[in-house]
Amino acid sequence: MSQNEVAKALLGMAEALRTQEPPKLKMAIKCARSSLTLQINDEMQAICNLQLGKLLFFYTENSELAKTHLQIAYDKMLPMGTFYTRDRMHAISMIADLYIHYQHWPIAGIKSALRHEISTSRGYPVLTNKLMFQLIEILKIDKDVEGAIDACQTAINSSSGDPKMELYFRITRTLVNYQLMHEESNATEIARIGSMIKSLEATPEDRVHLEWLGETSMTLFACVMNIISALVQSNPGRVEKYYHLVVKHADEIIYKSTRTPQEPGVVRCINMIKMTTLEMMACCNVMACRPQKTLGNIRDMLEMCHRSSGPLLYRYFAPHIQYVLGLQCCYFRQHEYAEKHFISAINLLHLNDCTSNNSMALLNLNLAMTYLNQLKMADYYEVAEKLTAPKIAQCSQMLKSNVKLLSAFFSYLTNKPNECKALVHEVLDDSKAEDFFRLHGLALLLMSLIFPVDEKGVKPTVDWSKKSHDHVVIMWSHHLYERVLRAAGVDPNSEQYQLVMTDQEESRKILNVDY
């Protein structure tokens, strides 16, 4: 038996070990690795490196070794002609996935190889489309705006005969446009995408192609959208309801992915969904004065980062963790510690991430508010300079409205009531338009410090605050309501007055609990 035949036998044994129940993955990897110790020809070396690279890619976290073997396989197959086109495309696709997940190798060679395969390989449209998506993602990571948009347009033009792929690439272009240029697509393009989706939904065989993540993963995505909506509307009850659903199903998917190979992009998506959910639940627990639960959420985030292969999950969420800890310190009135956490979050923020502009502005906003709470005016001026209208023009409407509230608070502290009133009215208008209930309540309460507020004005904030479990707003709004009732001559022994006092005292006790 020749050495090439022995190598084939070892690869066959590796595959048998991989597919048996339960799989013996370590032994499978040893068999594949042993095949490379033999004196075999270049063709067999390419095959053995590819199989070993695939095993390491799907079943281990040894990204460096997986990338090395896949690169050797790709380089050896390149001059071998069209017979190895499919294997070669698989190899470069896995290398691209490794780069997207880890981002610590030179990018030029990977982009060049992807472009070469996309332009020259024929007969494997599914793989070609996958490579195109990976190229667009890598160009996006590299902040190559022109290259990413051009690649999207090329993909759209080449898929004009395949409606589902044209739809995918049009959606991709919309996302790239927003993430890199912070521009929303025009109404015509959105309408066209909507029309294409409806067209595909019309027939059962085409409808299947709209289920991008699978039923469970799409359910998770829908839950996260509901959590974001509930958080914006300050409804922690709904947040907690969907939080438990997300954690349960996400853990199931993540556990299955350790047993059965899945597309790395799916696992990354589920990891991001769970981490985002944990962060939002932590923010709710901060507002509800549940510090132990907040720290529990942060512990779960850190554990998940350490369990995840690669540094990207921690790199992205480390600033978020510091931000939540800063909020926690604010609620404990430990302003110096809050400063340190917000500054640490700013230092940890990766400026190449597509949401970094909004995140940086949010952190500066909280840092500025912390300085104002301590009357550190020189520090406040330095940070406020980074929150001027031109510098936050590309940020979210909620953040812009919060910056206006910060400016209104500054005007109040510096005895500029008319300026404060004008800014508060802007915040109130923004809040009504966007359903920012908490922001509306805070703006109204700030207004009450300089101008009279009647019962009709404060009652909705009082009612909403009890649903939000935000004890700072509960205590403040109920204290204001007490003053309004007293001024209106309401009997202190009446049920209405006593209820206001009871709710106010309960929140006062919760806020003063010493943990």
**pLDDT given for residue 513 in this prediction:** 46
> Is residue 506's pLDDT more than 80?
no
Q: Could you read off the pLDDT of 9-59 as tens digits, one per residue?
A: 999 999 999 988 888 989 999 999 999 999 999 999 999 999 999 999 988
**pLDDT given for residue 515 in this prediction:** 36
Between the CA of residue 310 and those of 69, 245, 260, 353, 451, what are the distances in Å?
Answer: 18, 26, 19, 16, 54
Q: What is the arithmetic mean of pLDDT over 140-157?
A: 92
Asked if residue 391 lies in contact with residue 403, where contact means CB atoms within 8 angstroms, the answer is no
Domains of the chain, CATH where assigned: 3-210 (1.25.40.10)
Packing angle of the helix pair 264-287, 215-232 (nearest 10 deg): 30
One-character DSSP codes across 123-175: S-HHHHHHHHHHHHHHHHHTT-HHHHHHHHHHHHHHTTT-HHHHHHHHHHHHH
> Is residue 257's pLDDT more than 80?
no
Lowest mean pLDDT among 93-102, 113-122, 254-263, 420-429: 254-263
Per-residue pLDDT band for 514 (boundaries 50, 70, 90) equals very low
Per-residue pLDDT band for 123 (boundaries 50, 70, 90) equals confident
Q: Could you read off the pLDDT of 56-78 as tens digits, one per residue?
A: 998 888 889 999 999 999 999 99
Q: What is the arithmetic mean of pLDDT over 184-194?
A: 85
Task: Identify which of 214, 270, 210, 211 has the alpha carbon closest to the alpha carbon of residue 246.
Answer: 270
Q: Could you read off the pLDDT of 456-487 as tens digits, one per residue?
A: 777 777 777 777 777 778 878 888 878 877 77
Q: What is the arithmetic mean of pLDDT over 138-164?
A: 91
Q: Tell me the two tokens of residue 377.
A: 């005016």
Report the share of the chain in percent with pLDDT over 90.
Answer: 49
Q: Could you read off the pLDDT of 281-304 as tens digits, one per residue?
A: 999 999 888 899 999 999 999 999
Mean confidence (pLDDT) of the chain: 88
Lowest mean pLDDT among 175-179, 349-353, 413-417: 349-353
Per-residue pLDDT band for 393 (boundaries 50, 70, 90) equals confident
Buried b (16+ CB within 10 A) or exposed e, 135-174: bbbbbbbeebeebbbebbebbbebbeeeebbbbbbbbbbb
**pLDDT given for residue 307 in this prediction:** 82
CB atoms within 10 A of CB 340: 15
**pLDDT given for residue 509 in this prediction:** 76
Q: Could you read off the pLDDT of 299-347 as tens digits, one per residue?
A: 999 999 888 766 788 988 999 999 999 999 998 889 999 999 999 999 9
Between 28 and 355, whose confidence is greater? 28
Per-residue pLDDT band for 266 (boundaries 50, 70, 90) equals confident
Phi, psi at 11, each rounded to 5°? -65, -40
